[in-house]
Amino acid sequence: EVQLVESGGGLVQPGESLKLACEASGFPFSGSSMHWVRQASGKGLEWVGRIRNEANSFATAYGASVKGRFTISRDDSQNTAYLQMNSLETEDTAIYYCTLPEGGGDSFKFNYWGQGTRVTVSS
Amino acid sequence: TQLTQSPSFLSASVGDRVTITCRASQGIGSALVWYQQKPGKAPKLLIYGASTLQSGVPSRFRGSGSGTDFTVTISSLQPEDFATYYCQQVKNYPLTFGGGTKVEIK
């Protein structure tokens, strides 16, 4: 059974940093790409970014609102993906989900999601 | 690629036929996914490839469209279908979601 468990959320002040983790199990993690999606309270879903597997050079991509501030990494020995968030802004307050994609091309989709971890940026 | 969902809010009764529209700012072929989200829960995959029903999703859900215009139709709304629905394009990075459609009980 696929399981994704996020951790590391909390309350931080604007300008501070936070690192989220997504521990995965139940599938071949090292061969998979991993994505992060966030959702502000009462708002819609926003794609944050992704990291590919080693065969794809661990390539990363980010949404415009986080590019240059957030970094996604992974530790395949620990089956864990990370989201390093720097220079946090109040607008980054959200629930952060990690997701495991399946399929390719037009069949690409997010079939598995973690339970989410809440990040609050406030002074 | 921007996705515009309509309506943003929909009030309907059990048994109603409901249609939600998602329009892309540029052609995305069939690279369109639909999710259902209930309060306090992660999104749930409903439809991918614009029209392929995810395993386990009831057949009252139907997705259609290609290019820039897509719809999801619920043929007979059930109590468990009251939720928020999102479309997502997976053709181009950055991946993007529509703004959501909240389906509430009339």
- Please check whether residue A34 is in contact with residue A98, taking contact to mean a CB–CB distance below 8 angstroms: yes
> In this predicted structure, what is the pLDDT of residue B47?
98
Query: Residue with structure tokens 């996020």?
Result: A6
In angstroms, the CA A33 to CA A109 distance is 12
- Please check whether residue B35 is in contact with residue B41, taking contact to mean a CB–CB distance below 8 angstroms: no
Each residue's pLDDT tens digit, A35-79 = 999 999 999 999 999 999 999 999 999 999 999 999 999 999 999
Query: Given A109, A113, A115, which is nearest B90 (Cβ)?
Result: A109
Query: What one-letter code names the amino acid at B21?
Result: T
Cβ neighbours of A61 in B, within 8 Å: 93-94
In angstroms, the CA A81 to CA A49 distance is 12
Q: Do B42 and A115 touch (CB under 8 A)?
A: yes
Query: Residue with structure tokens 């973690």?
Result: A114
Size of interface A-B (CB pairs under 8 A): 61
Each residue's pLDDT tens digit, B37-92 = 999 999 999 999 999 999 999 999 999 999 999 999 999 999 999 999 999 999 99
- Please check whether residue B34 is in contact with residue B85, taking contact to mean a CB–CB distance below 8 angstroms: yes
Q: Does A8 touch chain B (CB under 8 A)?
A: no
In angstroms, the CA B29 to CA B57 distance is 23
How does A93-120 read in b/e, with b if 16+ C-beta sit within 10 Å?
A: bbbbbbbbbbeeebebbbbbbbebbebe
Q: Does A63 touch chain B (CB under 8 A)?
A: yes
Joined together, the tokens standing for residue B106 give 């009339």
Query: Given A47, A115, A116, which is nearest B95 (Cβ)?
Result: A47
pLDDT band at A1 (very low <50, low <70, confident <90, very high): very high
pLDDT band at B106 (very low <50, low <70, confident <90, very high): confident
> In this predicted structure, what is the pLDDT of residue B62?
98
